[in-house]
């Protein structure tokens, strides 16, 4: 009977040791996963902050560009109006108005091109940090699948 009791006791001790080892490995693996998740989360937050910073800078540039264009347009319009008001003939009025309209349209088209460039830069600069994080996540997923 003592042999059976000793065998049971030895079996229970072995199972307890195995369970303790498995628990230690599980805790270690959970800590490693938690640390990795914390690093990934930090990197994601950093990417969002970089994206937001790029967006703010681009919007500031866009705003300054629009304000400058509006100011120049108003000044050009006032100068054209003064010139038209001081015209000596209807022919001169038509020429001045035509010249102003042409220059205003050219300025508008140039400004539209510039705004388009700024918006493209905005989208590229704000997406870059987020794309980098997406690519890093995809690489991790491919790596995990391969393992």
Burial of 7 (0-12, 13-18, 19+ CB in 10 A): exposed
Q: Would you call 61 helix, strand, or coil by DSSP?
A: helix
pLDDT per residue as tens, the chain (147 positions):
567 888 888 888 989 898 898 999 999 999 999 999 999 999 999 999 999 999 999 999 999 999 999 999 999 999 999 999 999 999 999 999 999 999 999 999 999 999 999 999 999 999 999 999 999 989 988 888 887
Q: Which pTM value belongs to this model?
A: 0.70
* Domain boundaries, given as residue ranges, for the chain: 2-146
């Amino acid at each position: 009977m003592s042999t059976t009791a000793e065998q049971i006791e030895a079996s229970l001790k072995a199972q307890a040791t195995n369970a303790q080892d498995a628990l230690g490995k599980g805790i270690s693996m959970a800590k490693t996963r938690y640390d990795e998740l914390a690093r990934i989360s930090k990197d994601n937050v950093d990417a969002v902050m970089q994206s937001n910073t790029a967006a703010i800078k681009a919007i500031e540039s866009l705003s300054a560009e629009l304000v400058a264009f509006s100011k120049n347009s108003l000044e050009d319009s006032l100068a054209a109006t003064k010139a038209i008001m001081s015209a000596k003939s209807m022919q001169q009025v038509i020429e001045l108005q035509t010249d102003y309209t042409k220059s205003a349209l050219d300025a508008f088209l140039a400004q539209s091109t510039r705004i388009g460039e700024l918006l493209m830069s905005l989208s590229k600069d704000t997406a870059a940090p987020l794309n980098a994080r997406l690519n890093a996540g995809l690489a991790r997923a491919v790596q995990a699948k391969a393992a």
